[in-house]
């Protein structure tokens, strides 16, 4: 029996193709989108302004495709890590982070990751597959706290700009009037610097951008992040500097601080030179120890000196609060490797 195609994650143009394929009038695509993204139905039977006979026809080949998480873990700080199925034997994690004034979801874009950054558990897992737009959006729509969300960050498992076609479908649905109708300013896409995807993102999206940097020095960044060989940080920063930022996109640089590696005053000064003339901010992130990696987190005092050095030079710099470390939900700690093996 042929597997049904999933409507959740389809753009309006794709839904128009579905309507044509099933003999529905053109306007039905907007109706389906309304049921999917505004009313958030979980079955075609609930789409009551579509004729019953047409719904039956739709159900022969399609399903909504909203699938609830299969497991969750709650941190002492209120952070919740959810596990979602992503096809037979595959899983992804996403992290719900509530605070006093906002509720953020950290979304995954791939099962595993190709980039193999030294400090990241997802990279140690290796790469299995890109998530479909359905599997990405399902993390948002099927989240129990979905209606409370104020912000989304594509900083979960995988490199979003290595799965750029599916990512852009999701961003369209999130920000379009036919979809969620969110402001792009509520969404941040993180990247370690896949140049082709970054160029497209800068040209086509108004969402915020976060670039994983972690060292201002080429050889040192290369030792932490193999992607530096193909896409040096300097070239990525030059690309960002050349772009017209009249749309007021926020650009930030993520900087995990490692003890006696990248936390010296010389590193802070080199970072200031690298980011000179670029309107941006820097987020310092405490390293969270992962198995098999000898790196250590910098101490708080050195991180404060680093932060103050950048702020005094006119670059907004903050130390990001760590959330969910006790359930392996903090930055760099997401992995479903054991679940894939057991699945």
Annotated binding site for S-adenosyl-L-methionine: 158-159, 190, 212-214, 288
H-helix or E-strand containing 265?
A: helix 265-274
The CA-CA-CA angle for residues 285, 286, 288, to 5°, reads 120
For residue 125, the number of C-alpha atoms closer than 13 Å in the C-beta half-sphere is 26
Q: At what angle do helices 233-242 and 195-204 cross, to 10 degrees?
A: 20
Catalytic residue among 207, 280, 317, 331: 331
Q: At what angle do helices 265-274 and 233-242 cross, to 10 degrees?
A: 40
Tell me the two tokens of residue 92: 């992804």
204 is catalytic: no
Ramachandran assignment for 320, one of left (phi > 0), alpha (psi -120 to 50 degrees), beta (any other): beta
> Based on the number of CB atoms within 10 Å of its own CB, is 177 exposed (0-12), middle (13-18) or buried (19 or more)?
exposed
H-helix or E-strand containing 137?
A: helix 133-141
H-helix or E-strand containing 234?
A: helix 233-242
Catalytic residue among 93, 166, 228, 254: 93
83 by DSSP, 3-state: which? strand
Is-contact 281 250, C-beta < 8 A? yes
CA dihedral sign, ordered 175, 156, 204, 64: negative
Tell me the two tokens of residue 280: 């941006």
**CA distance from start to end of the chain:** 23
DSSP letters for 33-53: HIIIIIS--SSGGG-TTS-HH
Tell me the two tokens of residue 169: 């479908």
Q: What is the DSSP letter of 320?
A: P
74 by DSSP, 3-state: which? strand
- Would you list which residues are annotated within the binding site? 113, 117, 120, 158-159, 190, 212-214, 288
93 is catalytic: yes
- Would you list which residues are annotated within the binding site for [4Fe-4S] cluster? 113, 117, 120
Which of the residues are catalytic?
Answer: 93, 331
């Amino acid at each position: 029996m042929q597997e049904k195609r999933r409507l959740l994650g389809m753009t309006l143009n794709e839904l128009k193709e579905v309507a044509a394929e099933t003999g529905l009038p053109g306007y039905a695509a907007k109706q389906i989108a309304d049921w999917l993204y505004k009313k958030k139905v979980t079955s075609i039977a609930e789409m009551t302004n579509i004729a019953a006979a047409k719904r039956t026809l739709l159900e022969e080949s399609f399903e909504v495709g909203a699938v609830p998480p299969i497991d969750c873990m709650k941190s002492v700080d209120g952070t919740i890590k959810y596990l979602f199925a992503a096809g037979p034997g595959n899983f992804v994690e996403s992290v719900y982070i509530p605070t006093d004034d906002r509720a953020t979801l950290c979304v995954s874009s791939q099962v595993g990751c190709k980039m193999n950054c030294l400090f990241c558990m997802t990279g140690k897992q290796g790469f299995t597959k890109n998530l479909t737009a359905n599997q990405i959006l399902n993390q948002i729509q099927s989240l129990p706290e979905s209606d409370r969300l104020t912000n989304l960050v594509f900083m979960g498992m995988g490199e979003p700009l290595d799965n750029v076609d599916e990512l852009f479908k999701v961003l369209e649905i999130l920000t379009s009037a036919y979809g969620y109708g969110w402001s792009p300013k509520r969404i941040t896409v993180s990247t370690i610097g896949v140049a082709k995807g970054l160029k497209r993102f800068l040209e086509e999206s108004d969402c915020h951008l976060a670039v994983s940097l972690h060292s201002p020095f080429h050889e040192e960044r290369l030792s932490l992040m193999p992607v530096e060989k193909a896409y040096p940080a300097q070239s990525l920063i030059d690309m960002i500097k050349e772009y017209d930022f009249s749309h007021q996109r926020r650009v930030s640089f993520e900087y995990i601080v490692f003890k006696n590696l990248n936390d010296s005053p010389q590193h802070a000064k080199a970072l200031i030179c690298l980011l000179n003339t670029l309107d941006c901010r820097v987020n310092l992130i405490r390293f969270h120890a992962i198995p098999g990696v000898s790196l250590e987190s910098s101490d708080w005092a050195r991180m404060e000196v680093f932060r103050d050095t950048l702020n005094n030079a006119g670059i907004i710099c903050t130390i990001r609060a760590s959330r969910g470390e006790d359930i392996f939900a903090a930055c760099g700690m997401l992995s479903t490797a054991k679940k894939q093996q057991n699945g």
